[in-house]
Copies of this chain bind each other. A is one copy, B any other.
Amino acid sequence: MATVKDVGERQLVDTIRSIVRPRSKNTVVGPGDDAAVIGGSSDGSIVISTDVVTKSRHFPKGMSYEQFGWTAAAVNFSDIASMGAKPLGFLPAVTIPEDEEENNLYDIMSGIDQCCEFCDVDVVGGDTKFGELAVAGTAFGTMEGRKPMTRRDAVPGDIVAVTGTLGDAAAGYYALEKGIDADEQIFKLMVPVPRVEYGIKMAATGIVHSCMDLSDGLANAACTICEMSRVGMEIEWEFLPVDDGTKEVLEACNQDVKDTVTRWGGEYELLFTFDRKDIKKLYDAGIAFSIIGLVTNDDGPYLRDGDKRTAMQNGIY
């Protein structure tokens, strides 16, 4: 019999989707997007997402318990932010080893609460049980009448854009590993900021065709939008917003800059597409972003660097 590891995460998810069957007319967006969108309320759909962070996978060397807690909340707020939702609350379900120091649990909760404060909501409930250290968080919010930004409505001809800068969290990770001084990058790794404000503003413009967060990396997000929208994408390496400092750190760590910047997960910027004629509405909304490519009716996504054009792969670090 195959184990879940043999099958692989991606194949598991596909199979699970064939097991859980859609049946409710209230489900506007079901599994397969950053977050689900549920109707059943006249003025503003509910947006909701759940993600587990575990000690073995999301607790890099040097991270504090407080930062682990912040991260557990942030990854979930990022998922509802990318739909354009205003957060309404958060619920952490924490499993913790019996022999864990009590202060570590309080630090996790404090980190969660600080991220909730950043998003102007409460920890409205939760659960604590003994087990391997993990936080299964649920963030939910409301569209307040805005149309959700999904992964499936990118249109050929759209501009592809991204908020913030890329590669910082990866650089922080490798800097820690090598003992290189890189405070700014390490902070970005430890305290990811969900783009809640940008998500709300973007959805409010009504002009964004598709949007997804970069929690699994740029290549993964580009591949997913292409697959779900049945479009292609051309991304220009020269256009990607990578800080010089971050480049230097990655080079000092002997990392391939291009590969790291495009494929490293754990970044919480938003990748989005829109019709170029509407660009002024995004500027007027006060959203800072970089144009990085175009949606095509070819296949893809491809990364172009001068004469080289390579297919972007879905794998993440």
> Which residue numbers of A lie inside 8 Å of B, CB to CB?
1-7, 9, 12-13, 15-16, 19-24, 26-27, 30-31, 35-36, 38, 40-44, 46, 48-52, 54, 56-57, 88-89, 91-103, 105-106, 109-110, 112-113, 116-117, 120-132, 134, 136, 138, 140, 142
**In the bound complex, do residue A102 and residue B6 qualify as a contact, i.e. CB atoms below 8 Å apart?**
yes
Which of chain B's residues have a CB closer than 8 A to the CB of A31?
123-126
Q: How far is the CA of A36 from the CA of B127 in the complex (A)?
A: 12
Residue among A23, A56, A124, A126 facing the most chain B CB atoms (10 A cut-off): A124
Copies in the complex: 2
**In the bound complex, do residue B131 and residue A93 qualify as a contact, i.e. CB atoms below 8 Å apart?**
no
A1 → chain B closest CB, angstroms: 5
A124 → chain B closest CB, angstroms: 4
**In the bound complex, do residue A23 and residue B120 qualify as a contact, i.e. CB atoms below 8 Å apart?**
yes
State the majority secondary structure of interface residues on A: mixed
**In the bound complex, do residue A48 and residue B140 qualify as a contact, i.e. CB atoms below 8 Å apart?**
yes
Q: How far is the CA of A57 from the CA of B95 in the complex (A)?
A: 12
Which of chain B's residues have a CB closer than 8 A to the CB of A93?
50-52, 93, 136, 138
Q: How far is the CA of A121 from the CA of B19 in the complex (A)?
A: 14
**In the bound complex, do residue B21 and residue A113 qualify as a contact, i.e. CB atoms below 8 Å apart?**
yes
**In the bound complex, do residue B96 and residue A127 qualify as a contact, i.e. CB atoms below 8 Å apart?**
no
Q: How far is the CA of A19 from the CA of B123 in the complex (A)?
A: 10
**In the bound complex, do residue A109 and residue B24 qualify as a contact, i.e. CB atoms below 8 Å apart?**
no
Which of chain B's residues have a CB closer than 8 A to the CB of A30?
122-125
A3-B99, A89-B26 known; A131 vs B20 contact (CB < 8 Å) = no
A5-B130, A106-B15, A112-B20 known; A49 vs B125 contact (CB < 8 Å) = yes
**In the bound complex, do residue A113 and residue B20 qualify as a contact, i.e. CB atoms below 8 Å apart?**
yes
Closest to A103 in B: B1
A151 → chain B closest CB, angstroms: 13
Show 16 A/B contacts (Cβ-Cβ < 8 Å), sorted by A: A2-B101, A4-B97, A4-B98, A12-B102, A15-B102, A16-B105, A19-B106, A20-B113, A21-B117, A27-B89, A31-B125, A48-B138, A52-B93, A52-B129, A56-B131, A129-B134
